[in-house]
């Protein structure tokens, strides 16, 4: 019986999508087993659990796989339905963060110049709506909600890509509200505990860009 209740996360250390899930599990106090996957040689289990996309994260709970990061996060909040909650309880508040959630999710997998432009467009939309999304300068805390989880993972990715590819994606003075909140979130213990090494990320994105260029 206990085996069936086991939670297993299949991930990859450099993936911000996997980091979202790690933070959510940590906030909820959920014990889990972690399985590191390789981008080059994906395990047979990963291919079985996610045969269509063949990507991480994959959360396995009660021997059932849940795939796609935002769906996994929603599943965690619905299944472990106790405080702290990742999403607001009322439908209106959920609807207010749906768009920025999707914009942020689309901003954390950057490969080509077009994608970088899309990231900047998404950041512009987020900046314009920060006072609506976080009214009254809502405080940042260890029990962060879903939108804050996505926000706190973005700076690591952006800074590493900027250095690895010699580009500029996000200038703090252009996004003062977003940058300020991200800086506060990145200093929280739950964010620091899950953050990958900047140096390793830079090397990863340099290697990934070479790989991406080669296969295209």
Question: Can you count the helices (H) and strands (E) in the chain?
Answer: 10, 4
Rounded Cα–Cα distance for residues 65 and 8 (Å): 9
Arithmetic mean of pLDDT, 60-87: 94
Q: Is residue 116 domain-resident? A: yes
Host domain of residue 195: 91-215
pLDDT of residue 88: 83
DSSP for 145-176, written as a single string: -HHHHHHHHHHHHHHHHHHHHT-----GGGSH
49, 79, 109 — which closes off a domain? 79
Arithmetic mean of pLDDT, 168-184: 93
**Over 80: is that where the pLDDT of 66 sits?**
yes
Q: Are 43 and 115 found together in one domain?
A: no
Confidence at 216, pLDDT banded by 50, 70, 90: very low
Q: Are 123 and 75 found together in one domain?
A: no
pLDDT of residue 210: 67
**Over 50: is that where the pLDDT of 29 sits?**
yes
The domain that holds 199 is classified in CATH as 1.20.1050.10
User: What's the structural domain count of the chain?
Assistant: 2
Q: Are 106 and 210 found together in one domain?
A: yes
Residues 6+ apart with CB under 8 A from 209: 111, 164, 165
Confidence at 104, pLDDT banded by 50, 70, 90: confident
32, 58, 79 — which closes off a domain? 79
The domain that holds 61 is classified in CATH as 3.40.30.10
Q: Is residue 85 domain-resident? A: no
Rounded Cα–Cα distance for residues 113 and 215 (Å): 17
Residues 6+ apart with CB under 8 A from 10: 35, 37, 43, 45, 46, 49, 56, 57, 58, 59, 60
Q: Are 71 and 108 found together in one domain?
A: no
pTM: 0.89
Confidence at 149, pLDDT banded by 50, 70, 90: very high
Q: What percent of the chain has pLDDT over 90?
A: 61
Mean pLDDT of the chain: 87
Q: In the numeric block, which tokens belong to residue 38?
A: 């390789």
Arithmetic mean of pLDDT, 118-139: 82
Q: Is residue 84 domain-resident? A: no
Q: What percent of the chain has pLDDT over 70?
A: 89
Q: Are 51 and 118 found together in one domain?
A: no
Arithmetic mean of pLDDT, 31-39: 95
Arithmetic mean of pLDDT, 144-169: 91
pLDDT of residue 121: 85
79, 105, 126 — which closes off a domain? 79
pLDDT of residue 5: 74
**Over 50: is that where the pLDDT of 115 sits?**
yes
> Scanning the structure block, which residue is given the tokens 């959630």?
101
Rounded Cα–Cα distance for residues 16 and 196 (Å): 9
When mean pLDDT is compared over 31-35, 84-88, 111-115, 140-144, the highest value belongs to 31-35
pLDDT of residue 1: 39
Looking at per-residue confidence, does 25 or 142 come out higher?
A: 25
Q: Are 108 and 144 found together in one domain?
A: yes
The b/e string for 139-171 (b: 16+ C-beta within 10 A; e otherwise) is: ebeeebbbbbbbbbbbbbbbebbbebbeeebbe
């Amino acid at each position: 019986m206990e085996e069936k209740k086991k939670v297993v996360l299949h991930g990859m250390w450099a993936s911000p999508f996997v980091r979202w899930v790690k933070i959510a599990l940590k906030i909820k106090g959920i014990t889990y087993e972690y399985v590191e996957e390789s981008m080059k040689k994906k395990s047979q289990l990963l291919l079985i659990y996610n045969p269509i996309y063949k990507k991480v994260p994959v959360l396995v709970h009660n021997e059932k796989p849940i795939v796609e990061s935002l769906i996994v996060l929603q599943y965690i909040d619905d299944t472990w339905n106790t405080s702290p909650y990742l999403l607001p309880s009322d439908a209106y508040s959920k609807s207010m963060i749906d768009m920025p959630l999707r914009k942020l999710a689309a901003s954390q997998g950057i490969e080509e110049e077009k994608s970088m432009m899309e990231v900047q467009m998404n950041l512009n939309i987020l900046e314009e709506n920060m006072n609506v999304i976080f009214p009254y300068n809502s405080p940042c805390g260890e029990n962060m909600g879903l939108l804050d989880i996505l926000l706190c993972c973005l700076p690591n990715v952006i800074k590493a890509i900027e250095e690895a590819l010699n580009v500029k994606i996000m200038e703090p003075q252009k996004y003062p509200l977003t940058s300020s909140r991200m800086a506060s979130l990145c200093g929280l213990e739950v964010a620091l505990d899950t953050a990958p090494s900047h140096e390793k990320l830079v090397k990863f994105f340099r290697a990934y860009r070479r790989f991406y260029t080669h296969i295209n």
